[in-house]
């Protein structure tokens, strides 16, 4: 099955390059690579009845590559945007009926937005398209390569953990931002943490658009973006707090946050996201992450919504905290509608 999906992604890239020979392509594929791909395809794609059935089943839930290609070309030409062929190929290979396929596909796509100044005024006009996920109930994730905790010390397993994201895209202005609402209930309390916020506004110059955002959600209703790593652009937004099974993502770089800043100390991240309510130094915050992509003006959007939190005793070290992290997530296909 993986070979079949690889073949379709390859065909999509070739089709994209042939069709858009006159358009600006951001990531061209060398001829030698295409020759190797063609050679591989001749050996792996057997034209027998079994493979025909497999191909039919595999493509039934894939995005229509011809429509995807045409939509990207049309929007790129209309708005003077470049084409990210690698992102387009990944998007073409996503099985929209599979949460696992959506999550893996999105994880493979690099963000290609640039944040605008904080004082940029967000506007919604007749050129704005709204992609609304509606409230999604997130599902607990356990194990996996990063070994997420199976315990229920952070999130109440008997209450739905929900997130709604409304993403606003203006292809004419080349801007994107989102309004996010969360409903989180932690273990040991009946209080639902309802927090809503707008992300900052970002610009984009290529298609498909790939955008990310993160946020810490405190029990007192305060929320703010999370300064992991360099904290300078979308590349320092992480899909999980876990850098490895035993390590947290890097604290904010001194070059970004400044000498002596609270967020340059990794222990402060542990205190921030520790949900042990008996620990008076813990902030009890929840980590939010979201990622969104859409191919063109007329296509649907695809996204993932994530909540994480840890639970350890006061003074726990990094490994102990990281091993306690619980994760919930949901994927969604979002139909875009023009703003009224």
Note down pLDDT in tens along the chain; length 340 residues.
555 555 555 555 555 555 554 444 444 334 343 343 334 334 444 444 444 334 344 444 556 678 898 999 999 999 999 999 999 999 999 998 899 999 999 999 999 999 999 899 999 999 999 999 999 999 999 999 999 999 999 999 999 999 999 999 999 999 999 999 999 999 988 788 899 999 999 999 999 999 999 999 998 888 999 999 987 666 679 999 999 999 999 999 999 899 999 999 999 999 999 999 788 888 999 999 999 999 999 899 999 999 999 999 988 999 999 999 999 999 999 999 999 8
- 94: helix, strand or coil: coil
**What are the φ and ψ backbone dihedral angles of 80, each rounded to 5 degrees?**
65, 40
Cα separation, 287 vs 145, whole angstroms: 19
The predicted-structure confidence for 67-118, as pLDDT tens digits, reads as follows 898 999 999 999 999 999 999 999 999 998 899 999 999 999 999 999 999 8
Cα separation, 58 vs 1, whole angstroms: 7
For the chain, the average pLDDT equals: 85
Instruction: Report the Cα 11 to chain-centroid distance in Å.
Output: 25
Q: Which residues contact 293 (CB under 8 A, 6 or more apart)?
A: 87, 91, 106, 109, 208, 209, 210, 211, 301, 302, 303
Residues 111/237, Cβ–Cβ less than 8 Å: yes
Instruction: Report the Cα 137 to chain-centroid distance in Å.
Output: 17
The structure tokens 């506004």 sit at 201
- 201: helix, strand or coil: coil
Can you give the pTM of this predicted structure?
A: 0.83
Among candidates 237, 324, 238, 328, which has minimal Cα distance to 276?
A: 324
Q: Which residues contact 150 (CB under 8 A, 6 or more apart)?
A: 142, 143
Cα separation, 189 vs 184, whole angstroms: 11
Cα separation, 283 vs 241, whole angstroms: 16
Residues 6/79, Cβ–Cβ less than 8 Å: no
> In this structure, are strands 82-83 and 206-207 parallel, antiparallel, or unpaired?
parallel
């Amino acid at each position: 099955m993986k070979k079949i999906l690889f073949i379709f992604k390859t065909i999509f890239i070739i089709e994209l390059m042939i069709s858009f020979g006159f358009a600006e392509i951001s990531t061209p594929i060398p001829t030698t690579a295409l020759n190797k791909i063609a050679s591989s395809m001749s050996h792996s794609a057997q034209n027998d009845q079994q493979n025909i059935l497999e191909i039919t089943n595999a493509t039934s839930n894939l995005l229509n590559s011809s429509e995807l290609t045409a939509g990207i070309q049309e929007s790129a030409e209309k708005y003077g945007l470049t084409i990210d062929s690698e992102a387009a190929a990944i998007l073409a290979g996503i099985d929209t009926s599979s949460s696992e396929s959506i999550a893996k596909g999105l994880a493979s796509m690099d963000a290609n937005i640039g944040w605008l100044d904080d004082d940029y005024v967000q506007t919604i006009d007749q050129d704005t398209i709204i992609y609304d996920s509606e409230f999604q109930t997130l599902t607990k994730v356990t194990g996996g390569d990063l070994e997420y905790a199976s315990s229920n010390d952070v999130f109440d397993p008997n209450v739905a953990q929900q997130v709604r994201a409304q993403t606003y895209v203006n292809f004419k202005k080349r801007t994107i931002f989102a309004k996010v609402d969360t409903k989180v209930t932690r273990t040991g309390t009946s209080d639902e943490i309802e927090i809503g916020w707008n992300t900052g506004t970002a610009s984009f110059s290529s298609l498909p658009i790939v955008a990310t955002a993160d946020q810490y959600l405190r029990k007192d209703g305060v929320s703010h973006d999370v300064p992991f790593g360099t904290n300078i652009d979308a590349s320092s937004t992480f899909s999980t707090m876990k850098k490895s099974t035993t390590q947290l993502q890097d604290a904010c770089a001194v070059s970004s946050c400044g000498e002596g800043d609270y967020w340059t100390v990794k222990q402060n991240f542990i205190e921030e996201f520790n949900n042990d309510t008996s620990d008076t130094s813990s902030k009890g915050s929840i980590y939010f992450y979201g990622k969104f992509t859409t191919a063109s003006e007329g296509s649907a959007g695809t996204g993932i919504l994530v909540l994480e939190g840890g639970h350890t005793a006061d003074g726990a070290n990094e490994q102990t905290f990281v091993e306690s992290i619980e994760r919930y997530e949901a994927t969604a296909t979002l139909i875009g509608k023009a703003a009224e």
